[in-house]
């Protein structure tokens, strides 16, 4: 009933108010276009809210499970590689002041617009186009850094993790989530691949994560495996259908699969992705850090 009444009111504004403005005066055409545009924009955002964070089942898995590690309160959080802002939204709704950075200008524009539509202002969540290698130019420190499905795209990953450590305040936390290098979908033997937007390595294991963290002030305190075989099969099927028919036509298929995704649980024997939570203590830097 609420959804139906909302659409009826929006349609009323678009049709009657818009037509009245159109015929009332010459400037009414502009008002009519704005009113109709607002109606379609409202419908688009309504659909986005209902389906958020999208049809990608692995993104939804991270959105559902990583929230337990995102601490609440009025703290400073950096989302490095923010994408569509899914994890930024969790942090903002938990009371964090969030800065999301990405290389995609489109992501910055669309995520900013969506957050403003949700009533989340710039003082609560801001998005910028910035290369992760240039994070020091922010001249800021953070209580929490989130970096999900991004590090595997960066050649200088050890440099980036060291930078995360430097940007974190004492007691701060780093949440890393990357492909599991041992999973058959990623165990391709990638090494020293040039940065072109794709993966430059297969991913990470617990051992390789520990090696990255070993030369920083960060200590791993918890682990999580994400993406069960069931979820992988469902996502692969949906991804093929989306590639063939487009997202809109695949919404019914997504809705049919959605109850099955609730059977997915963290820490399967062979997860698609591996996440680590690391904390910054007050111990001196370990010898040998680059």
Full strand arrangement of the beta sheet holding 273-280? 125-129, 97-102, 76-80, 142-148, 168-179, 273-280, 218-226
139 Rama class: left (phi>0) / alpha (psi -120 to 50) / beta:
left
Mean pLDDT (the chain, rounded): 87
What's residue 25's pLDDT?
A: 44
Whether residue 197 has pLDDT greater than 70:
yes
Give the C-alpha separation, 237 to 141, whole Å. Answer: 42
For residue 200, the Cα-to-chain-centroid distance in whole angstroms is 20
Would you state the pLDDT for residue 47?
Answer: 87
**What is the model's pLDDT at position 5?**
46
Query: Lowest-pLDDT range, 28-32, 139-143, 239-243?
Result: 28-32
Residue 40 has pLDDT above 70, yes or no: no
**Residues with Cβ within 8 Å of residue 152, at least 6 apart in sequence:** 178, 179, 199, 200, 201, 202, 203, 204
Averaged pLDDT for residues 238-261: 97
Tokens of 90: 């969790």
Q: What pLDDT is stored for residue 191 in this prediction? A: 86
From residue 93, alpha-carbon distances to 56, 62, 102 in Å are 22, 16, 20
- Residues paired with residue 125 on neighbouring β-strands, in sequence order: 98
Of the two residues 127 and 46, the one the predictor is more confident about is 127
Would you state the pLDDT for residue 137?
97
Give the residue, 289 or 47, on which the prediction is more confident.
47
Percent of the chain past pLDDT 90, that is, above it, reads 79
Q: Report percent pLDDT > 70 for the chain.
A: 82
Q: Per-residue pLDDT averaged across 18-33, rounded?
A: 38
Q: What is the mean pLDDT of residues 244-270?
A: 97
**Segment 224-246 mean pLDDT:** 98
pTM over 0.85: no
* Whole-angstrom distance, CA of residue 129 vs CA of residue 124: 17
Residue 198 clears pLDDT 80, i.e. is over it: yes
Q: Residue 214: which pLDDT band, with cuts at 50, 70 and 90? A: very high
Average pLDDT value for residue range 143-169? 97
């Amino acid at each position: 009933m609420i959804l139906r009444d909302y659409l009826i009111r929006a349609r009323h504004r678009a049709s009657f108010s818009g037509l009245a403005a159109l015929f009332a005066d010459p400037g009414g055409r502009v008002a009519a276009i704005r009113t109709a545009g607002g109606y379609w924009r409202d419908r688009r955002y309504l659909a986005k809210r209902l389906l958020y964070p999208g049809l990608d089942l692995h993104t939804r898995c991270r959105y559902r499970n990583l929230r337990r590690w995102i601490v609440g309160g009025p703290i400073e959080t950096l989302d490095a590689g923010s994408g569509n802002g899914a994890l930024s939204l969790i942090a903002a709704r938990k009371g964090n002041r969030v800065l999301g950075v990405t290389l995609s200008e489109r992501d910055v524009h669309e995520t900013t617009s969506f957050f403003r539509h949700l009533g989340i202002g710039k003082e609560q969540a801001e998005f910028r186009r910035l290369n992760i290698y240039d994070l020091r130019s922010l001249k800021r420190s953070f209580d929490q850094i989130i970096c999900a499905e991004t590090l595997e795209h960066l050649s200088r990953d050890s440099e980036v993790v060291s930078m995360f450590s430097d940007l974190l305040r004492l007691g701060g936390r780093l949440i890393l989530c990357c492909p599991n290098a041992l999973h058959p979908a990623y165990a391709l033997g990638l090494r020293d691949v040039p940065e072109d937007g794709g993966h430059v390595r297969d991913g990470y294991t617990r051992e390789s994560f520990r090696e990255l963290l070993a030369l920083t002030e960060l200590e791993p305190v918890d682990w999580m495996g994400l993406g069960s075989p069931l979820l992988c099969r469902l996502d692969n099927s949906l991804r093929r259908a989306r590639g063939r028919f487009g997202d809109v036509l695949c919404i019914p298929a997504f809705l049919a699969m959605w109850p099955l995704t609730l059977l997915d649980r963290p820490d399967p024997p062979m997860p698609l992705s591996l996440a680590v939570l690391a904390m910054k203590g007050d111990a001196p830097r370990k010898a040998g850090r680059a």
